[in-house]
Structure 1
């Protein structure tokens, strides 16, 4: 079975598993988690008993996660989203379903960031700092972080070269700041999940070198997963 067929079969099985939580229509844009990745995320929330969740990049996963947390009866989610229109839609959908008390969706525009590489943008540093600090103070350290944003290029990025001008290096490194910014807010044993495993390879490799993370990479779901050791 080739890779594309294996992914299609996995996604079909995931749709069947997700059916109890697909209580009303949601748009699933191309940027959203694959169904098999979403099912793997929900499995980790339940089996790992994760309760303080953060996702970088909002979408249908935010709403489905909220439905799961509501049915389970505990847990909170902070979602950081750079697209103002999409953040507004997710917030509206959560309010329509009476789930807004479980999820905070924050619109954080992409700006220059001190932790970014090659001059690439990341979420507004002040907004992220303030939101994550308030969230952790209220609910405790983060025990699951999903890195699904900012959006990655659709084509494989060109390798960064020493002569590349600022901001024109490897765009596949755009998600790099997630670890240097949020590592101190992650609980010992927290789960770290990263979507778009192939396009995120440069980020995963750098984190492995700098933080000693060992990721299990699934080409079928497109997710990479690791459990963080104590700092």
Structure 2
């Protein structure tokens, strides 16, 4: 109960901080980043001076990030989303707000992937490779990766914790030295985070108030 209360208080405070960017209504489904996590993400973009952003799992975070980038005056976002309907909504909202030049939302269906654990799918391999390669060639190496997808509902309860594992093996080569990695649902992703930490020589710090785990990648 204490943990739930702390999260509720953190989210309430985050709503107040986010208010300047909540210029019109956005749906915040259960799968979306919690307000406290979204505020922490925006803090990392600003304080860390992050400019080439990559997001796995599109949503209200994509639109709010675009609003922040527009107000700041620089930065780009590539968002990968497996749900076609949700990707279409985010793209439409960005166009309505005149922000589509800052964000590219790509619908990438889930498919068998060589980096998947236990035969679990991930975003379509060729599509992700082509999109990320083109993005990096145009804007430079990624300096912030948000792992908030695929949606865990796409796997059985037993497999859900491993569904997001391919993010680091697939994308590590596209990331800059000193890049930030933020992973949502840190508690449920403990096994994946441990595997990433061991394979990539990094340490993830978990924040119970936001539900995020964060690391900064060393060179190499």
TM-score, reference length from structure 1: 0.93
> How far apart are residue 204 of structure 1 and its match?
0.2
**Partner SS, residue 53 of structure 1:** strand
TM-score, reference length from structure 2: 0.97
> How far apart are residue 208 of structure 1 and its match?
1.1
**Partner SS, residue 62 of structure 2:** helix
Aligned to 1:73: 73
RMSD: 1.5
> How far apart are residue 198 of structure 1 and its match?
1.1
Q: Is the 8 A contact 1:144 1:191 kept in 2?
A: yes
1:48 to 2:54 alignment: no
1:194 to 2:183 alignment: yes
1:226 to 2:205 alignment: no
Q: Is the 8 A contact 1:153 1:172 kept in 2?
A: no
User: Unaligned regions of 5+ residues in structure 2, if any?
Assistant: none
- The number of equivalent residue pairs is 220
**Partner SS, residue 118 of structure 2:** coil
Which of the two has greater helix per residue? 2
Segment of structure 1 superposing worse, 34-43 or 196-205: 196-205
Q: Distance in 2 between matches of 1:200 and 1:155?
A: 14
Q: Distance in 2 between matches of 1:125 and 1:209?
A: 24
Q: Is the 8 A contact 2:154 2:160 kept in 1?
A: no
Q: Distance in 2 between matches of 1:179 and 1:155?
A: 19
> How far apart are residue 153 of structure 1 and its match?
4.7
User: Unaligned regions of 5+ residues in structure 1, if any?
Assistant: 159-169
Q: Is the 8 A contact 1:110 1:121 kept in 2?
A: yes
**Partner SS, residue 134 of structure 1:** helix
